[in-house]
């Protein structure tokens, strides 16, 4: 956990438990309203508020937005959804004293802090770092206070002590204090372990080492183009960097592959490829699934539920956009793949005869994502509010994916496919509770999302690359694979012409779509676990197991629809 140099230090707060696993945090939360703040291992040590609400343990990631240092202004702001605070204790006090919901999706209210027992262990990002006595200094004395909500205003406050001459401002480890106060141990965080673009020591970054090293943000700063900041610039970076051995120079961090410039292609004649191109990621060892797994393993589903709860819908939408762009062949296309398919983008390959394999892969991905979304609702065997909250989460994700926002139309189609699936739409009590308790989400689904999806499926709707990052290609893929259009002949002919015209426009505008995607993903640092959880290969193994994932697609689809029907009947039996 990075200890901020500005504002209030939250390490001394009694509700802060340091690096703590999700399971141990849930064991400490006994009653509704109990909460604590911990350093999440899955989020690289970023703070997460764990709270028990209505019998369930929920986890909310606190985003840290770095600012450029200016006199009289904090260097970082903290936020959950919209409002930002100059420090983490200020955020906690505002939500606890004001009894404000930690998120609008869950309505969870934190009211009783769970005090820390014993010492704070080292953070996850510092376990591999050697102890350096030269970087240690005693912590300042703090004034204790009670752990009740009313006392949060006065918890662990102390005036800012000016550093001595030549003193280091790198976060220092604390020496044991005397008396009955808990001992706080904290190891220094070197610049190399902070996930930012500065990957070297001070001597390598400056001709003359300054007395005060520059503060390095844990979040990307907005670029200087003057455009308004987007949510992708608020996504925390994931600490996955391992420190180099002593004396080894760290190279500068490379530009992410999705931000790299496209290679210039020389003029050449097109030659039809001998084999079809696939953009499916190769099978690699999974960090969430074992080498051999059963379908719908409960431990994996529990981990995924917590992983998605820790992410704002805007962050999940950006992760989905990144994976969809890989699967569609908009980003990450190698020179060998471009030479094999004769075009530069999968959006062009979709309209060609040798794009058969890509079309099938995209249609399977759309159905698989929809099945996983439906499972997120039908797998909630708890109270009715839990299922309604899952519905609301899918609606909010669809709103974040719509044109004008992230603009991932294939992702939007998958989420809407889950919401409109018969096994989900028949849950009358659940939808009634959604309309009563989450009216805004219900109105957005009925009045905005359903008409938009109907228009997109008919070959109309928004398609401008400035408003849309990734176009809706499923209608053209189905049509080119021989699927018949429903409805009267005259209407189906008009729909056929619109779909083919939209496919030609999409192929022509493929470079503009890539530019639109690059703008949205500029500065984005994805979570590896969430990214993997959204890939087609992972979802295939999760839903059907490692053995069933190799079965024919039609067989797998039919079997899983039967599973969803059974789950739906158990939740709300037919009268």
**b/e per residue, 506-529, with b = 16+ CB within 10 A?**
bbebbeebbebbbebbbbbbbbeb
Which superfamily does CATH assign the domain made up of 298-571 to?
Answer: Ras guanine-nucleotide exchange factors catalytic domain (1.10.840.10)
What are the two backbone dihedrals, phi and then psi, of residue 127, each rounded to the nearest 5 degrees? -65, -30
Contact 310, 60 (CB under 8 A): yes
Both tokens assigned to 379: 């797998």
The first and second tokens of residue 400, run together, are 């974040």
pLDDT at 273: 62
* Closest C-alpha to 322, from 524, 164, 459: 524
Residue 563 has a pLDDT of: 94
Q: Going by C-beta distance under 8 Å and a sequence separation of 6 or more, which residues neighbour residue 240?
A: 44, 195, 528
Contact in structure between 257 and 304 (CB atoms under 8 Å): no
DSSP 84: E
Helices (H) and strands (E) in the chain, counts: 20, 8
Q: What is the DSSP letter of 14?
A: T
Pick the CATH number of 1-122 from 3.30.505.10, 3.90.1150.10, 3.40.50.970, 3.20.20.80: 3.30.505.10
Burial 447-467 (b: 16+ CB within 10 A, else e): eebeebbeebbbbebbbebee
Question: Minimal CA–CA distance to 138: which of 158, 124, 109?
Answer: 158
Task: Average pLDDT across each block of 10 residues of the chain; the chain has 575 residues. List them in order.
Answer: 47 86 90 90 81 89 80 80 84 88 86 81 38 37 42 41 40 38 38 36 38 39 39 34 37 51 51 70 77 91 89 93 94 85 90 91 96 95 91 95 95 97 96 94 95 92 91 94 78 87 94 93 90 93 92 92 95 89
Residue 34's pLDDT is what?
93
Task: Look at residue 55 in the predicted model and tell me its pLDDT.
Answer: 85
pLDDT confidence of residue 313: 92
Whether 1-122 shares its CATH topology with 298-571 is answered no
Enumerate the domain spans of the chain.
Answer: 1-122, 298-571
- What local confidence, expressed as pLDDT, does residue 274 receive? 56
pLDDT of residue 40: 81
Output the pLDDT for position 140: 40
């Amino acid at each position: 956990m990075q200890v901020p140099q500005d504002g209030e230090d939250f390490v001394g707060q009694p509700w802060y438990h340091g690096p703590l696993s999700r399971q141990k945090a849930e064991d400490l939360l006994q009653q509704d309203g109990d909460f604590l703040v911990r350093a999440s291992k899955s989020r690289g040590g970023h703070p997460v508020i764990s709270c028990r609400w209505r019998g369930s343990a929920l986890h909310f990631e606190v985003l840290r937005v770095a600012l450029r240092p200016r006199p009289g202004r904090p260097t970082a702001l903290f936020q959950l959804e919209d409002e930002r605070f100059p420090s983490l204790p200020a955020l906690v006090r505002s939500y606890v004293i004001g009894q404000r919901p930690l998120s609008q999706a869950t309505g969870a209210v934190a009211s009783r802090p769970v005090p820390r027992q014993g010492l704070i262990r080292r953070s996850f990002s510092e376990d591999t770092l050697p102890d350096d006595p030269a970087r240690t200094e005693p912590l300042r004395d703090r004034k204790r206070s009670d752990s009740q909500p009313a006392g949060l205003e006065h918890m662990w406050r102390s005036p800012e002590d000016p550093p001595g001459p030549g003193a280091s401002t790198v976060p220092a480890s604390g020496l044991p204090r005397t008396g009955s106060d808990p001992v706080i141990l904290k190891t220094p965080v070197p610049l190399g372990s902070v996930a930012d673009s500065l990957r070297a020591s001070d001597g390598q970054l400056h001709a003359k080492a300054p007395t005060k090293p520059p503060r390095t943000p844990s979040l990307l700063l907005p670029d200087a183009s003057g455009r308004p900041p987007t949510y992708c610039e608020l996504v925390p970076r994931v600490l996955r960097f391992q420190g180099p051995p002593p004396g080894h120079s760290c190279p500068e961090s490379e530009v992410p592959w999705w931000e790299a410039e496209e290679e210039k292609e020389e003029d050449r004649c097109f030659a039809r490829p001998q084999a079809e191109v696939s953009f499916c990621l190769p099978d690699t060892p999974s960090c969430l699934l074992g080498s051999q797994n059963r379908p719908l393993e409960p431990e994996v589903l529990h981990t995924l539920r917590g992983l998605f709860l820790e992410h704002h819908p805007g962050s999940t939408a950006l992760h989905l956009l990144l994976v969809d762009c890989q699967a569609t062949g908009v980003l990450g296309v190698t020179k060998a793949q471009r030479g094999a398919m004769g075009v530069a983008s999968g959006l062009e390959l979709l309209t060609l005869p040798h794009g058969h394999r890509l079309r099938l892969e995209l249609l399977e991905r759309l159905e698989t994502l929809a099945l996983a979304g439906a499972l997120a609702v039908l797998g909630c065997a708890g109270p009715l509010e839990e299922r309604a909250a899952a519905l609301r989460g899918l609606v909010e994700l669809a709103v974040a994916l719509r044109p004008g926002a992230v603009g991932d139309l294939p992702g939007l189609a998958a989420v809407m496919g889950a919401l409109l699936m018969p096994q989900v739409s028949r849950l009358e009590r659940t939808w009634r509770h959604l309309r009563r308790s989450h009216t805004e989400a219900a109105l957005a689904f009925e009045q905005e999302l359903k008409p938009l999806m109907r228009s997109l499926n008919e070959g109309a709707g928004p398609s401008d690359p400035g408003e849309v990052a990734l176009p809706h290609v499923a209608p053209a893929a189905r049509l080119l694979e021989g699927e018949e259009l429903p409805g009267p002949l005259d209407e189906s002919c008009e729909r056929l012409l619109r779909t083919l015209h939209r496919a030609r426009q999409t192929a022509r505008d493929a470079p503009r779509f890539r530019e639109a995607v690059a703008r949205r993903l500029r500065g984005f640092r994805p979570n590896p676990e969430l990214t993997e959880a959204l890939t087609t290969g992972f979802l295939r193994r999760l839903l059907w197991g490692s053995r069933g994932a190799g079965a024919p697609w039609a067989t797998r689809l039919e079997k899983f629809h039967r599973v969803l029907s059974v789950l739906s009947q158990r939740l709300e039996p037919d009268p």
